[in-house]
């Protein structure tokens, strides 16, 4: 019997990280992409929860930013993976859209450019890491180099185990540099994907999101699931675990990612930096300036909204 | 007598670019920072107009982004300058916050880092230009190198005319690369600044935004105004004019910048790219796949929201 009282946030029965994190024996084959694990409530409750969490996320990010301005180096990196139409772009728009754009850096990784191709596959990734105080979002990521690159046979040999180790090392270095990595894979069913692709063919303003090759990728669906399973088995570490998120219901995927970010930032516990100056002394200094200007104007200090420049 | 019927957008009596753009003989000395030029309406009407314009701005940016995905190279760069507390950060948060974060790149320019100092002052600027399809925001910019650097005497000699020419050349190259430059200076009165600084000393969560040296900068207010006047006189070009925006009223400054961006993007006239594929053929291909899956399931096609993976 499900608990009726939310233990963690409104509607969540368990901390989503606990239920969505890849654990030993995780099997993608039996994964239900239409489920809403851990959340007791439907779409309306989910969307209400997202709106509430948005304020919290925004405040936590602002604290992290303030911390960075005082010399802190911490940041968050959200890695988003998933098949075409799984909703990665929607996470950027609807979840990160609740945060000050100054604190967000979204980066999409498509087919490498000729310049990127001349470098190691992590080269473009390292250059895109978020600056201190920001939430970075990778819409696709270095994992493309063990997913599409593997399924499409774009490199010779069998470098996957080596790449997993390389990626693990890279993520450890990233964490050591102060960037907390949150990895989310959005999983949809083939049926759901088909419906979403069909939607893109309905209106001319959606055509640009459609690519005939997306259909070809569908034909290798099982190969992709196999590659994802291997990624989860080999690159889910205690400090940078994978979260596998059912994404047939967009509201649930957005809610889960929002809550994961809020929980991550809450654990990081950023705080308003202490003032690097004497608050009383500065208040006195400003007070004196206010009095001085009022005297100079030979009238009571202008009220906030009526302040005018006096012939300067 | 003011026109009573808005000619351009709700409440605007004139296109804001026409009234805010620096023209011949522009005199900062007589500039009223508390005015709301060109807009017939108060704060409530202004905020309603911003919300309406937000949807338009978001759609225009998405079109620009779509265009870039189809090979387009166009982008917009919003350059924000202004004294401390003039509201540059609020523009990022409240105006660009209405746009998909994937389409926005905000970059602040503070005191140069040791690495930046080893390069030409435009080095860090060039590296931060927005990618195709995005709206880039510079919160402070290359103009710091002819403003604070000049007022504080941070370089030898009198290189300002040379720098203005250099900046003009740089902006022309930027425009030639497809990036439309929109330059806005937010102007507040010394009284308004004092009130806003005092606000930052009221609550611990605002302390990090306060810097005692901001008060020192106030003592050189006239020098700053002189430096700004020179910047407007020398770097306002037909293709990248300066807009000087009264910013004592935050709502007006935000409205003006939103409308300037909407007008700029409307003039750029981005359009949904034509499909690079045969729409009918792709629709038929998807239709066949839908039928095939329905048959395989030996039941009617699953409805959108009930789609489930069938044992894959």
Q: What is the pLDDT of residues A281-308, one digit of tens each?
A: 999 999 999 898 888 776 544 444 444 4
A286 with A232, same domain: the answer is no
What is the sign of the dihedral through the CA atoms of A150, A151, A152 and A157?
positive
B80 with B227, same domain: the answer is yes
Residues spanned by the domain of A100: 16-268
Separation between Cα atoms, residue A24 and residue A18, nearest integer Å: 13
How many A-B residue pairs are in contact by the CB < 8 A criterion? 185
Q: Which two tokens stand for residue A225?
A: 């699931």
A178 with A117, same domain: the answer is yes
DSSP conformation letters of B38-99: TB-S-HHHHHHHHHHHHHHHHHHHHHHHHHHHTT---EEEEEEEESTTSSHHHHHHHTGGGS
**The pLDDT of residue A1:** 31
Record: contact B302-A222, CB cut-off 8 A = no
Name the pLDDT band for B161 (thresholds 50, 70, 90).
very high
Asked if residues B110 and B139 have their Cβ atoms less than 8 Å apart, the reply is: no
**The pLDDT of residue B25:** 92
> Residue A181 falls within a domain, yes or no?
yes
A301: Cα separation from own chain's centroid: 47
Alpha helices in chain A, H assignment, sequence order = 16-20, 43-69, 88-94, 114-117, 123-127, 148-151, 160-176, 190-200, 212-218, 221-235, 250-268, 279-296
> Residue B9 falls within a domain, yes or no?
no
Nearest to B290 by CA among A299, A199, A183: A199
**The pLDDT of residue B2:** 32
Residue B311 has pLDDT above 50, yes or no: no
A174 with A78, same domain: the answer is yes
Q: Which two tokens stand for residue A244?
A: 């596998």
Tell me the backbone φ, ψ of residue A184, rounded to 5 degrees: -130, 130
Asked if residues B289 and A221 have their Cβ atoms less than 8 Å apart, the reply is: no
B231 class by beta-carbon count within 10 Å (0-12 exposed, 13-18 middle, 19+ buried): buried
Over residues B118-136, the mean pLDDT reads 98
A119 with A219, same domain: the answer is yes
Record: contact B197-A286, CB cut-off 8 A = yes
| Sequence-distant (≥ 6) Cβ neighbours of residue A1 within 8 angstroms | none
Name the pLDDT band for B277 (thresholds 50, 70, 90).
very high
Residue B279 has pLDDT above 90, yes or no: yes
B230 with B260, same domain: the answer is yes
B154 with B212, same domain: the answer is yes
Q: Is A101 on the interface with B (CB under 8 A)?
A: yes
**The pLDDT of residue A303:** 47
A160 with A206, same domain: the answer is yes
> Residue B110 falls within a domain, yes or no?
yes
Over residues B259-282, the mean pLDDT reads 96
The mean predicted confidence, pLDDT, of chain B is 91
Residue B165 has pLDDT above 70, yes or no: yes
Cβ–Cβ contacts within 10 Å for residue A2, how many?
7
Q: What's the pLDDT tens digit per position in B45-93?
A: 999 999 999 999 999 999 999 999 999 999 999 999 999 999 999 999 9
Q: Which strands sit side by side in the sheet containing A179-187, from one edge to the other?
A: A104-108, A135-139, A75-82, A179-187, A242-246
B288 with B209, same domain: the answer is no
What would you measure as the largest C-alpha separation in chain A, in angstroms? 83
ipTM: 0.89
> The domain that contains B144 carries what CATH number?
3.40.50.300
**The pLDDT of residue B188:** 98
**The pLDDT of residue A6:** 55
| Minimum distance, in Å, between the CA of residue B134 and any CA atom of chain A | 11
Give the nearest chain A residue to B99 (CA atoms).
A97
Q: What's the pLDDT tens digit per position in B168-180?
A: 999 999 999 999 9
B203 with B161, same domain: the answer is yes
Question: What is the number of domains present in chain B?
Answer: 2
Over residues B2-28, the mean pLDDT reads 78
The number of CA neighbours under 13 Å toward the Cβ of A226 is 8
Record: contact B279-A222, CB cut-off 8 A = no
Given a cut of 50, the residues of chain A with pLDDT beneath it are 1-5, 300-312
A20 with A157, same domain: the answer is yes
| Sequence-distant (≥ 6) Cβ neighbours of residue B216 within 8 angstroms | none
**The pLDDT of residue A262:** 98
| Minimum distance, in Å, between the CA of residue A4 and any CA atom of chain B | 25
Record: contact A208-B273, CB cut-off 8 A = yes
Residues of A in contact with B191 (CB under 8 A): 293, 301-302, 307-310
């Amino acid at each position: 019997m499900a608990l009726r009282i939310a233990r963690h946030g409104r509607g969540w029965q368990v901390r989503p990280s606990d239920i969505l994190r890849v654990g030993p024996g995780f099997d993608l084959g039996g994964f239900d992409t239409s489920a809403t694990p851990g959340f007791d409530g439907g779409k309306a409750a989910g969307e209400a929860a997202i709106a509430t969490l948005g304020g919290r996320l925004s405040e936590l990010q602002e604290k992290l930013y303030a911390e960075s301005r005082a010399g802190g180096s911490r940041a968050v990196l959200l890695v988003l993976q998933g098949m075409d139409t799984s909703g990665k772009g929607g996470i950027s728009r609807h979840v990160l859209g609740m945060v000050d754009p100054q604190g967000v850096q979204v980066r999409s990784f498509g087919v490498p450019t000729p310049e990127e191709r001349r470098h190691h596959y992590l080269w473009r990734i390292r250059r895109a890491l978020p600056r201190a105080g920001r939430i970075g979002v990778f819409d696709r990521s270095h994992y493309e180099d063990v997913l599409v690159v593997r399924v499409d046979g774009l490199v010779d040999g069998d470098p996957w185990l080596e790449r997993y180790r390389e990626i693990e090392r890279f993520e450890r270095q990233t964490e050591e540099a102060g960037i907390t990595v949150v990895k989310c894979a959005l999983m949809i069913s083939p049926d759901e994907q088909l419906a979403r692709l069909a939607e893109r063919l309905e209106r001319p303003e959606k055509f640009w999101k459609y690519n005939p090759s997306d259909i070809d990728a569908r034909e290798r669906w099982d190969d992709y699931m196999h590659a994802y399973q291997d990624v989860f088995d080999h690159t889910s570490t205690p400090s940078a675990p994978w979260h596998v998120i059912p994404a047939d219901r967009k509201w649930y995927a957005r809610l889960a990612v929002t809550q994961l970010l809020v929980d991550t930032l809450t654990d990081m516990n950023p705080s308003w930096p202490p003032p690097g100056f004497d608050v009383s002394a500065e208040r006195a200094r400003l007070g004196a300036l206010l009095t001085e200007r009022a005297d100079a104007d030979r009238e009571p200090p202008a009220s906030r909204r009526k302040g005018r420049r006096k012939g300067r």
